[in-house]
């Protein structure tokens, strides 16, 4: 992972966010909502702006921060996003109505493992962003990668989990279990026959998985 000095440096030269986004960052900090780290989201937005997806599916809305940042960075893009926590969903709804970009975001309330019918209606998706319960990444991937377009990309956040995936020993049992599951996911993803994956050690670690067998590879 990048060291703190470098992270602070990048943050110091990053473009200023709107008052609404700053308010959300503050709310997240105060209420321990794990929104994406600044440098991580900036990197993701950079890649998404190259990919130019028409539709994005996000699993894990929280208060709508990453969804709004994506909507703002990609002016024509429609975003469908899922959250199962009622309080966070309520906060997200409020923030989304306060933004001029909120109208391109469909926020769905419920467990992502149970919403496939509804999610399918808004698809197919050029990008899927998995940022929810770490123990279920593979399930999310299997369920929703079927809704990807031909050149679709799956982005998975938190795959390095504060660097814990690289530790030999993890004290706390609950954390140890999560680390185990994430490592299993990472290895499964890296060996997936249908996807080409790279892991960016930025933010909390972002995996980028692109479908194999596209034109660019056959050339």
Nearest distance in Å: CB 209, ligand SAH:
17
**Residue 209 in the binding site for Mg ion (CB under 5 A):** no
Residue closer to Mg ion by CB (options 119, 130) is 130
Nearest distance in Å: CB 111, ligand SAH:
4
**Residue 42 in the binding site for Mg ion (CB under 5 A):** no
Position among 55, 84, 101, 104 found at the interface with ligand SAH (CB under 6 A): 84
User: Cα–Cα–Cα angle for 188, 177, 202, nearest 5°?
Assistant: 60
**Residue 35 in the binding site for ligand SAH (CB under 6 A):** yes
**Integer Cα distance of 68 and 99 in angstroms:** 8
Helix, strand, or coil here: 160? coil
**Integer Cα distance of 3 and 16 in angstroms:** 22
**Residue 88 in the binding site for ligand SAH (CB under 6 A):** yes
**Residue 155 in the binding site for ligand SAH (CB under 6 A):** no
Who contacts 132 (Cβ-Cβ below 8 Å, separation ≥6)? 59, 60, 82, 112, 140
**Residue 62 in the binding site for ligand SAH (CB under 6 A):** yes
**Residue 101 in the binding site for ligand SAH (CB under 6 A):** no
**Integer Cα distance of 104 and 17 in angstroms:** 19
Position among 60, 102, 152, 203 found at the interface with ligand SAH (CB under 6 A): 60
Who contacts 200 (Cβ-Cβ below 8 Å, separation ≥6)? 43, 206, 207, 208
**Residue 147 in the binding site for ligand SAH (CB under 6 A):** no
Residue 25 exposed, middle or buried by CB count within 10 Å (0-12, 13-18, 19+): middle
Give the position of tokens 């992270």.
Answer: 7
**Residue 158 in the binding site for Mg ion (CB under 5 A):** yes
Position among 72, 78, 83, 157 found at the interface with Mg ion (CB under 5 A): 157
Site residues, ligand SAH (CB under 6 A): 34-36, 60, 62, 65-66, 82-85, 88, 111-113, 131-133, 136
């Amino acid at each position: 992972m990048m060291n703190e000095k470098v992270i602070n440096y990048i943050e110091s030269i990053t473009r200023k966010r709107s008052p609404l986004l700053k308010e959300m960052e503050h709310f997240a900090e105060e209420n321990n909502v794990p929104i994406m780290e600044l440098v991580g989201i900036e990197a993701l937005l950079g890649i998404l702006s190259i990919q130019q997806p028409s539709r994005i599916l996000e699993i894990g809305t929280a208060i709508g921060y990453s969804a709004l940042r994506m909507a703002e960075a990609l002016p024509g893009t429609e975003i469908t996003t899922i959250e199962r926590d009622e309080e966070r969903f309520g906060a997200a709804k409020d923030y989304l109505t306060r933004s001029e970009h909120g109208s391109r975001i469909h926020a769905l309330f419920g467990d992502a493992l149970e919403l496939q019918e509804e999610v399918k209606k808004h698809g197919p998706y050029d990008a899927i962003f998995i940022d929810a319960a770490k123990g279920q990444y593979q399930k999310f991937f299997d369920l929703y990668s079927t809704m990807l377009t031909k050149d679709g990309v799956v982005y998975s956040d938190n795959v390095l989990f504060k660097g814990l995936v690289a530790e030999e020993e993890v004290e706390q049992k609950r954390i140890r279990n999560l680390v185990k599951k994430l490592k299993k996911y990472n290895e499964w993803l890296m060996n997936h026959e249908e996807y080409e994956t790279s892991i960016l050690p930025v933010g909390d670690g972002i995996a980028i998985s692109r479908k194999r067998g596209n034109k660019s590879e056959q050339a």
